[in-house]
Structure 1
Amino acid sequence: MNTFLHQPRLAADDLFSALRTLLPQRQPVRSTTTAGVEVMSLLVAADKVRDIWGEWRGRHGETGWWPFVSTMTPEGLTSGGRLSEGVDAAVLESMVAEVVCQDHDARAASILLADFLWTTDPAYLDEGEFEEWLDEYDPDRLAHRLGPAITEPLPGVFRWVPEEPNTYYWRDQWWLHFVPARGGYEVPVMLPGLISTGNNPTHYLPPADDAALLRRWHEQWGAELFYASGPYLELVVDQPPLDPRSAAQAAAELRGYCDDTVDESQITGDGMARSTVWSLWWD
């Protein structure tokens, strides 16, 4: 039977065995969603989780399993609740087929346009305010307000998986989950509801929208899914945009995706968009 679901190169049993030897003092957990997605999970000490994630991210081509960090437990990912409600094997197959076949660049553009239209309802804005919003969403206009090109990416700041024990979000250990996926951009589809993109039902994005933007950012700037847990998302970005036009494009798209975090595109275009970590959250 043909399927759009990703078939990993490394068998689940072999991955489980590899994780058992990775940290012998911590046993991995094996679980399955109601749609049949198998998830491997390992509790990792805070001072090791980024390095281990980086190692297994680098091995994704040979394993076919994408790693990501989360505060969500294996049971929280796979046992009922919002991640699996109404999603059986047939629904999952349809969702993955949509993601595989969609024009992700066009869909990403439509997300930006939809957010712009949603936030600029003409019933509540006068002409001057509309022009101000264009300055925030139009990359060509925004680029003229950004600083000049830089030669090296700005150092990223991990907000949700911080390095310092005295920071607010510090934890001694984190869950590292492995999901069979073509890339990190497919994880929100394999685990729908993993990313909560807002509390307004008229502006809640479906997993295919998450996948479209994450895939575009992966192809454009090497952005990879690192951390996901409800309204919190963090991407590691290998080649962030350094020139004003590209940084403006990234900042506008980040705004369209998460205007709770990106409420000033200029600040993001000169800052986070040009850095190696994109840290987002939805209110």
Structure 2
Amino acid sequence: MSERHPAEGLLADLGITPVDGRGLGPVWAFHAQAGELVPLWRRLRDAHDRSGLWPILIGPDYERFTESFEMSVDQDTAPQVARGLAMDVDAGLAELKGNLLSWTGDPTSRPPRGSVDGGEPPDGERFYLAKKAGWIALVRADAGHLVPGLLDWDGAANHEVEPALHVAVLKQWHERFGAELVGLGRDVIELRVPHPPTDPAEILAVAEQQYWYCPDVVDQGVGTLDGLMAVQVPARSWYFWWD
């Protein structure tokens, strides 16, 4: 008989009956309906202090998600975690900025500025990976911002964002705004942000950080840095997607 994963014990303690539970290396996941995903995430997050298991929404395609991570890492030895915790966020984002500007050839066009067409932050928290029935995964981690490094997640590799930089950026946003990892899809990261910035100068600075970290959220999303400042940065949930 195979040994029961700690996630199974946690779900039993919480009275949660998993559907189609699957274990894969350090990750154990189960399926849930769209309306259940965020409430289940909250219950599992509230249990993290005693369980040591961090919940993440991974979307409807379990197999595709598993293509994005390394399955045999351990928190005590994960090199991307160690590098991320020691990394200078500003230096890491400056490198991404330099790479992007070298590709475009026109530094005056980035980040794009312009008017905002009626955009405003959504009420409450909204998560793209909770729109459809999907999977909740549990990963042994001391904090959510460590998970991309623990899994050696490569969902932003086409923009040369290494897992260590995800760790560094998410840790800084956690310390500044309480941001916590909710969703980690094949190429998506979603955060809940209890205390988003409110000062206009800080909103601008964070929007610029978010743009160099994930230009697609503007270039294929809200369209301008001003849109990002109006719609996402002051919101209580942040969404990043790398095409």
- Structure 2 length normalisation: TM-score? 0.80
Partner residue, 1:205: 161
CA contact (8 A) 1:185 1:214 kept: yes
The change in CA–CA distance for 1:280 and 1:156 in structure 2 (over 3 A counts) is: farther
Partner residue, 1:55: 43
Partner residue, 2:129: 161
Cα deviation for residue 45 of structure 1 reads 1.7
The change in CA–CA distance for 1:207 and 1:70 in structure 2 (over 3 A counts) is: same
Cα deviation for residue 93 of structure 1 reads 3.1
Partner residue, 1:65: 53
Q: Aligned equivalents of 1:119 and 1:27: distance in 2?
A: 42
The change in CA–CA distance for 1:26 and 1:221 in structure 2 (over 3 A counts) is: same
Partner residue, 1:83: 69
Matched, 1:252 2:208: yes
Q: Among residues 28, 33, 52, which one is paired with 1:40 in the alignment?
A: 28
The change in CA–CA distance for 1:53 and 1:186 in structure 2 (over 3 A counts) is: same
Aligned residues: 231
CA contact (8 A) 2:69 2:152 kept: yes
Structure 1 unaligned segments of length 5 or more: list them: 1-11, 33-37, 148-152, 163-169
Q: Aligned equivalents of 2:155 and 2:192: distance in 1?
A: 19
SS at 1:249's partner residue? Answer: helix
1:279 partner amino acid: Y
CA contact (8 A) 1:227 1:234 kept: yes
The change in CA–CA distance for 1:17 and 1:75 in structure 2 (over 3 A counts) is: farther
Partner residue, 2:241: 281
Q: Among residues 86, 91, 96, which one is paired with 2:81 in the alignment?
A: 96
Larger radius of gyration: 1
SS at 1:274's partner residue? Answer: coil
CA contact (8 A) 1:146 1:244 kept: no
Partner residue, 2:155: 196
Q: Aligned equivalents of 1:243 and 1:154: distance in 2?
A: 18
1:19 partner amino acid: L
Partner residue, 1:24: 17
Structure 2 unaligned segments of length 5 or more: list them: none
SS at 1:40's partner residue? Answer: strand
Cα deviation for residue 245 of structure 1 reads 1.4
2:141 partner amino acid: A
Cα deviation for residue 251 of structure 1 reads 0.5
2:208 partner amino acid: A
Within a 5 Å distance, the mapping from 1:128-277 to structure 2 comes to: 130=108, 133=110, 136=111, 155-156=123-124, 158=126, 160-161=128-129, 170-171=131-132, 173-193=133-153, 195-197=154-156, 199=158, 203-263=159-219, 264-277=224-237
CA contact (8 A) 1:77 1:191 kept: no
Q: Aligned equivalents of 1:235 and 1:121: distance in 2?
A: 29
The change in CA–CA distance for 1:57 and 1:89 in structure 2 (over 3 A counts) is: closer
CA contact (8 A) 1:146 1:269 kept: no
Partner residue, 1:109: 90
